[in-house]
Chains A and B, each alone.
Chain A
Amino acid sequence: MDFVSTGGGSLVDNIFLLFNAYDWWVYYSKKEEKNLAKKEREEKMYDQAFEEILFSLDETPIYADSGGDQHNDGRDTNEFGADFETLQGLECLNMEQAKNLLNEHVDQLSSKLHISPSLAKLFLHLNEWNVSAIVTAYSKHTNAFLVDNRVKLAATAALGASAIPSAAACTDILPLSPSSSTSKSSTNASSPISCPVCTHPLPGDHFRSLTCGHSFCQYCWARHFEVQINQGITLDISCMASQCNILVPEALILTLLRPSLHEKYEAFAFRDFVSTHPSLRFCPGPNCSVVMRARESKPKRATCNACGTSFCFQCGIEYHAPTDCVVIKKWLTKCADDSETANYISAHTKDCPKCHICIEKNGGCNHMQCYHCKHEFCWMCLGDWKQHGSEYYECSRYKENPNIGRESAHAQAREALKKYLHYYERWENHAKSLKLESALVDKIKSRIHSKVMTSSGTWIDWQYLIEASTLLAKCRYTLQYTYPYAYYMQSSVSHYYTVISHIIPTGTWIDWQYLIEASTLLAKCRYTLQYTYPYAYYMQSSVSHYYTVISHIIQQYTYPYAYYMESSVSHSRKELFEYQQAQLEAEIENLSWKVERAETTDRGDLENQMDIAEKRRITLLKDFHLSSFSNPTKLDIPPQGGTTVPISTKDSSTASIQSEGEGVRSASMAPLSS
């Protein structure tokens, strides 16, 4: 079933339809009536997903006492986690450094090919800054290369540069040298020539031309550059002659452009250079001018040293593992659905098939040229316009017959909405929790601060702590009962913190550091979990991808289960995902619970919980995110839920997972029947 925004407009009207957990449960059980075994499994899973809701009713941490024996190898998983999530070899460059880096490429190329830096810049910009590729292409077929890079006209290239392309031939094509620019006019330099653009008669030395030989006065060139630059065009400025696509190198632009615009030109050109450089990205942080450099462009986390903004290096949006770049963009657009904006965007815009910039068609024909990358494509089918010609017609016909059964479409839309809301509520909830918890870190810091400040000067005062913990135990008892309530009320929580910090001076900075660590980890886990929801939402539509992954596994393991699961291979993968997601949900809730109420320096329990949560997170990412950018044949994904979770290496913890699942399931019946 395709849930991707069909009939999005009417969905909005239906949002008021009350969707509750019970509806959802009924929907899924009906859908799976035929397969009783599957239904059983699913009920269990979905019930686990209700933990979030149920937890507010049940104040006992569900997972509190599982496996106190596994917090030794926590370090390993953490390091491994950082390893595959964070983009390695990342550098933060300021504008100066980035410019230097680009200039290095330019110098390298210009000295290798004996061409001007300005021409080298053009070549680099058009060829993804790949110096060696340019050198190879240039030395193999110089003329073809020059024509492809819009430095030479196809015709004149054949005539002009003749047989032996050499360094001399190269300097020849430079438009700047006065000799080449005035070759025509030198014969009649005395008599004024009329510029074809402004019609003013001027002496010959006021004229400039590129390799194409189209000669215009320098004042018209300057105005041409000005108009283009004001439209944000820098490196794509071409000759003024009609149907001439020869590009103007930077050197000519800078000599003729009026000085007040130089800065603007340089800024725009720099922006364009960075955007065509495969290993450079602008930091998306507000007012941050840092350029990030990486060895590889992968959908991994990149963090800016200057402003702390963390983003996916590949697409520039917030880091979003395990969801991939295309899906998260879709999801974020969908989530903006509250207003009519998203509907409008989906109805009136499309992404450029080449550079993916969002384009609004506010008139004009279907033959589109992207303002950003100049790619020409068909608005209807998004295909390349060059190969388009006679096929165009098919594109416009496609629109005609979408009306097959309006009623079923409506029903589908409602179901799609239910599904969406289910995921959206969780997503939204995690986003909110994240916000609350980032505030929590600050609160903990200030709490520690006030504790140390009031510990009468001694840093380590364990005697005092014993007394304090007695008092604490008393306080905790009372507060324990107010906490589930307070969890959702930020104001009363902060009140509680300030009260406590006045009453109980205890511990040292170091003693309390673990709390900060814990809340950082909690934020990390919650972040990952937040991004599992868009992943899950689109999972069914990317069946084919998983099918290929799974089929590798079938080949490798010849897993008997897979034979009769053939038709629902992707389904079992989804089950595994949802199982792991639910597990992570549970651990996060537990950890959150513990972090918020940690009032002693006894860190063992909390560290244990941190380990469990982090391992769940790593497992999920390994199974579902890592697969998207590594060789699927290398993957080790046994296609069934319980057996894959690495932390269940010990029998006791496996048992606890199972029993916990059962416990939740029985507990969930209470709110459902009421």
Chain B
Amino acid sequence: MSALPRRIIKETQRLMQEPVPGISAVPDESNARYFHVIVTGPEDSPFEGGLFKLELFLPEDYPMSAPKVRFITKIYHPNIDRLGRICLDILKDKWSPALQIRTVLLSIQALLSAPNPDDPLANDVAELWKVNEVEAIRNAKEWTRKYAMEN
């Protein structure tokens, strides 16, 4: 692989120097394009108190192509499926080279605060979220406790 583009170096530096509150993104020792990400569950959301591991990879074409992001920690969320894939427009057709790792992770954090069952990825979760939000939130809290709080 060719030398790391200035853009990635700059982004990485800034992530280290001024980290986004509630988000840590650390490049892998062996691959500077691979980031270990931890997102804390936002306050007043069913994910509060949880620490969610994600992986983020910057493809060869980055920033012309979107980064690849996936939840590693299991999460009960209408826009995230069992494999951790995320339904987020800016990761797909709404990607713009002007967006950054930082903005992507912020959007993911915002997605945890505001699940969008109208644009679901995990259909069964989205279904319950609409029919019985109380139960869905209870499930989400349980999953958070079960999978995102173990130490």
Which positions in A face B, CB cutoff 8 Å?
196-200, 214, 216, 220, 223-224, 226-227, 240-244, 363-367, 369, 389-390, 392-393, 396
A197-B81 contact given A364-B121, A369-B93, A396-B123, CB 8 Å threshold:
no
The B contact surface, by secondary structure, is loop
Q: What are 14 A-B pairs at a CB distance below 8 A?
A: A196-B98, A197-B98, A198-B6, A199-B6, A220-B64, A223-B61, A224-B64, A224-B97, A240-B97, A242-B96, A364-B92, A369-B92, A393-B118, A396-B126
Would B96 and A241 count as touching, CB distance under 8 A?
yes
A200-B98 contact given A365-B121, A393-B130, CB 8 Å threshold:
no
Residues of B within 8 A of A198 (CB): 5-7, 63
Cα(A367)–Cα(B93), bound, Å: 11
Cα(A244)–Cα(B121), bound, Å: 25
Residues of A within 8 A of B98 (CB): 196-197, 214, 216, 240-242
Cα(A521)–Cα(B89), bound, Å: 56
A365-B99 contact given A199-B7, A224-B64, A227-B61, CB 8 Å threshold:
no
Would A389 and B81 count as touching, CB distance under 8 A?
no
Would B120 and A365 count as touching, CB distance under 8 A?
yes
Chain B residues numbered 42-64 whose CB sits less than 8 Å from any CB in chain A = 61, 63-64
* CB nearest to B121 among chain A residues: A365
* CB nearest to A380 among chain B residues: B123
Which positions in B face A, CB cutoff 8 Å?
5-7, 10, 61, 63-65, 79, 81, 85, 87, 89-90, 92-94, 96-99, 103, 118-121, 123, 126-127, 130
Residues of B within 8 A of A224 (CB): 64, 97
Would B118 and A389 count as touching, CB distance under 8 A?
yes
Would A240 and B96 count as touching, CB distance under 8 A?
yes
Residues of B within 8 A of A363 (CB): 81, 85, 121
A199-B10 contact given A242-B90, A365-B121, CB 8 Å threshold:
yes
Question: Shortest beta-carbon distance, B8 to chain A, in Å?
Answer: 9
Residues of A within 8 A of B61 (CB): 223, 227
Of the residues A242, A244, A366, A390, contact of B119 by C-beta under 8 Å: A366
Residues of A within 8 A of B81 (CB): 363
* CB nearest to A200 among chain B residues: B6
Residues of B within 8 A of A241 (CB): 96, 98
Of the residues B10, B92, B96, B120, contact of A366 by C-beta under 8 Å: B120
Residues of A within 8 A of B127 (CB): 396
Residues of B within 8 A of A227 (CB): 61, 64-65
* CB nearest to A224 among chain B residues: B64
Cα(A223)–Cα(B96), bound, Å: 13
Of the residues B10, B96, B99, B119, contact of A367 by C-beta under 8 Å: B119
Question: Shortest beta-carbon distance, A265 to chain B, in Å?
Answer: 16
Known interface pairs A198-B5, A199-B10, A367-B89; 18 further A-B residue pairs with C-beta atoms within 8 A, sorted by A's residue number = A197-B7, A197-B98, A220-B97, A223-B64, A224-B64, A224-B97, A227-B61, A227-B65, A240-B97, A241-B98, A242-B99, A363-B121, A364-B87, A365-B121, A366-B120, A393-B130, A396-B120, A396-B123
| 10 nearest A-B residue pairs (beta carbon) | A242-B96, A365-B87, A227-B64, A240-B97, A197-B97, A199-B10, A367-B119, A365-B121, A392-B118, A365-B119
Residues of B within 8 A of A196 (CB): 98
Residues of B within 8 A of A199 (CB): 6-7, 10
Question: Shortest beta-carbon distance, A202 to chain B, in Å?
Answer: 12
Cα(A223)–Cα(B63), bound, Å: 10
Cα(A622)–Cα(B10), bound, Å: 72
* CB nearest to A389 among chain B residues: B118
Residues of A within 8 A of B120 (CB): 365-366, 396
Residues of A within 8 A of B87 (CB): 364-365, 367
Residues of B within 8 A of A197 (CB): 7, 63, 97-98
Question: Shortest beta-carbon distance, B118 to chain A, in Å?
Answer: 5
Cα(A223)–Cα(B94), bound, Å: 17
Question: Shortest beta-carbon distance, B89 to chain A, in Å?
Answer: 8
Cα(A224)–Cα(B95), bound, Å: 12
Cα(A220)–Cα(B98), bound, Å: 10
Cα(A240)–Cα(B99), bound, Å: 9
* CB nearest to B118 among chain A residues: A392
Cα(A226)–Cα(B89), bound, Å: 22
* CB nearest to B10 among chain A residues: A199
